[in-house]
């Protein structure tokens, strides 16, 4: 993605008003109804991230990429009702043709009322934001693996206790093969997010519709702050408000900020634009005002490694999503 200013085993009873998640289990009475909600397991999510990182950089076309595809596919096939591997050829800014795959797992695929959860599973083939080894691929623990790790854990929880609505989880490929700013090649428009562009033009089901979508990107940094970026505000303000208010109600005030920040070119932008409003989608992504990029401080560098993944941030994002989904 790029930043562009231009454009249980444990279960909880949740109150729709407020609750406290400082403990692993809480029982809170809801005067209207009681909703069973799993406790998100941050250790399980962390292991999912570690497993991906252990393959090495998952650059499309590499052996590591192929092994990780099999790993994610097996995980989803164990948890989801259906699994679809959407194979396609991606043409990159440097005219490479890459055999690519969007990995799609669905729960209750025949239910009309659905939501979409998504992340990208590939990693960047160059560390263009680093000061050394700029032409070597990054490991992508946060930028790629963190969103996947959280959603695999959510899929595991769904396999234990299904939500009332249908859910599709999509892991997009070739998100991070975009053209570097210092590239000597002619500029190529829309060089990022090739997997989500393909899916948005070729959904896995004809006339696919979801009530809304939530994209996770860089959701594992320590003390991450998630602001409300412009595309999310413009395309899906109600969804954004729902998710952010849920996080605040759960006590995650330090993570969910109502500050409005600039547009980010990421998978959600193409879902919103190309799906013609069928899936209004937001992006949960770290904003760091102290960095030049305004992204996670290790973005597109070799320091985006497992040592810089924080379990508490994974808990914050995962638990918030579980509360949003089970309350539908």
In three-state form (DSSP H/G/I as H, E/B as E, the rest C), the secondary structure along the chain is CEECCCCCCCEEECCCCCCCCCCCCCECCCCCCCCEEECCCHHHHHHHHHHHHHCCCCCCCCHHHHHHHHHHHHHHHHHCCEEEEEEEEEECCCCCEEEEEEEEEEECCCCCCEEEEEEECCCCCCCCCCCCCCCCCCCCHHHHHHHHHHHHHHHHHHHHCCCCCEEEEEEECCCCCCCCCCCCCCCCCCCCCHHHHHHHHCCCCCCCCCCEEEEEECCCECCCCEEEEHHHHHHCHHHHHHHHHHHHHCCCCCCEEEEEECCEECHHHHHHHHCCCCCCEEEEEECCCCCCCCCCCCCCCCCCCHHHECHHHHHHHHHHHHHHHHCC
Tokens found for residue 320: 């918030």
Relative to beta strand 212-217, strand 166-172 is: unpaired
Within a domain: 23: no
For 64, the domain range is 39-326
Within a domain: 20: no
Over residues 85-118, the pLDDT tens digits come to: 999 999 999 999 999 999 999 999 999 999 999 9
pLDDT at 1: 55
Q: Does residue 32 have a pLDDT over 70?
A: no
Over residues 191-247, the pLDDT tens digits come to: 999 999 999 999 999 999 999 999 999 999 999 999 999 999 999 999 999 999 999
**CATH number of the domain where residue 51 is located:** 3.40.630.10
pLDDT at 276: 82
In three-state form (DSSP H/G/I as H, E/B as E, the rest C), the secondary structure along 177-221 is CCCCCCCCCCCCCCCCCHHHHHHHHCCCCCCCCCCEEEEEECCCE
Instruction: Name the nearest CA neighbour of 18 among 325, 323, 241, 326.
Output: 323
Contact status, residue 124 vs residue 143, Cβ threshold 8 Å: yes
Q: How far is Cα 87 from Cα 60, in angstroms, rounded to an integer?
A: 12
Instruction: List the end-to-end C-alpha distance of the chain, in Å, as a whole number.
Output: 29
pTM of the entire predicted model: 0.91
Within a domain: 311: yes
If one counts the domains in the chain, the total is 1
Query: Which of 30-34, 74-78, 230-234 shows the lowest mean pLDDT across its residues?
Result: 30-34
Mean pLDDT of the chain: 91
Cα dihedral 142/148/149/151 (nearest 10)? 130
pLDDT mean over 16-32: 35
Q: How confident is the model at residue 248 (pLDDT cuts 50, 70, 90)?
A: very high
Within a domain: 8: no
Query: Which of 25-29, 41-45, 273-277, 315-319 shows the lowest mean pLDDT across its residues?
Result: 25-29
Within a domain: 31: no
Q: How far is Cα 81 from Cα 97, in angstroms, rounded to an integer?
A: 32
Within a domain: 46: yes
pLDDT at 5: 34
Q: How far is CA 71 from CA 58, 68, 77, in A?
A: 12, 5, 10
Within a domain: 271: yes
Instruction: Name the nearest CA neighbour of 240 among 273, 289, 281, 209.
Output: 281
Instruction: Name the nearest CA neighbour of 218 among 74, 86, 49.
Output: 49
Within a domain: 60: yes
């Amino acid at each position: 993605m790029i930043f562009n200013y231009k454009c249980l085993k444990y279960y909880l009873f949740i109150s729709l008003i407020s609750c406290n998640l400082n403990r692993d289990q809480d029982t809170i009475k809801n005067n209207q109804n009681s909703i069973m909600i799993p406790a998100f397991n941050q250790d399980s999510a962390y292991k999912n991230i570690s497993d991906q990182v252990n393959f090495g950089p998952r650059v499309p076309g590499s052996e590591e990429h192929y092994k990780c595809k099999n790993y994610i596919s097996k995980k989803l096939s164990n948890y989801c009702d259906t699994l679809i591997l959407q194979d396609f050829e991606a043409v990159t800014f440097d005219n490479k043709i890459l055999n690519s795959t969007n990995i799609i797992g669905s729960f209750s695929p025949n239910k009309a009322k659905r939501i979409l959860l998504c992340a990208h599973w590939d990693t960047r083939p160059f560390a263009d934001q680093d000061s050394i080894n700029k032409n070597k691929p990054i490991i992508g623990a946060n930028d790629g693996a963190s969103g996947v790790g959280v959603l695999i854990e959510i899929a595991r929880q769904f396999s234990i206790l299904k939500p009332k609505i249908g859910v599709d989880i999509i892991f997009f490929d070739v998100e991070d093969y975009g053209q570097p700013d210092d590239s000597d090649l002619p500029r190529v428009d829309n060089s990022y997010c090739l997997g989500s562009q393909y899916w948005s033009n070729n959904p896995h089901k004809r006339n696919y519709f979801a009530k809304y979508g939530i994209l996770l990107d860089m959701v594992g940094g320590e003390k991450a702050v998630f602001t409300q970026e412009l595309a999310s505000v413009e395309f899906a303000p109600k969804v954004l408000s729902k998710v952010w208010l849920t996080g605040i109600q759960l006590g995650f005030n330090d993570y969910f900020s109502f500050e409005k920040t600039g547009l980010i070119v990421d998978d959600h932008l193409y879902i919103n634009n190309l799906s013609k409003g069928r899936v209004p989608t937001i992006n949960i992504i770290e904003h760091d005002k102290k960095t030049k990029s305004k992204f996670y401080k290790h973005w597109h560098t070799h320091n985006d490694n497992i040592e810089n993944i924080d379990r508490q941030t994974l808990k914050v994002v995962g638990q918030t999503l579980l509360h949003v989904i089970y309350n539908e």
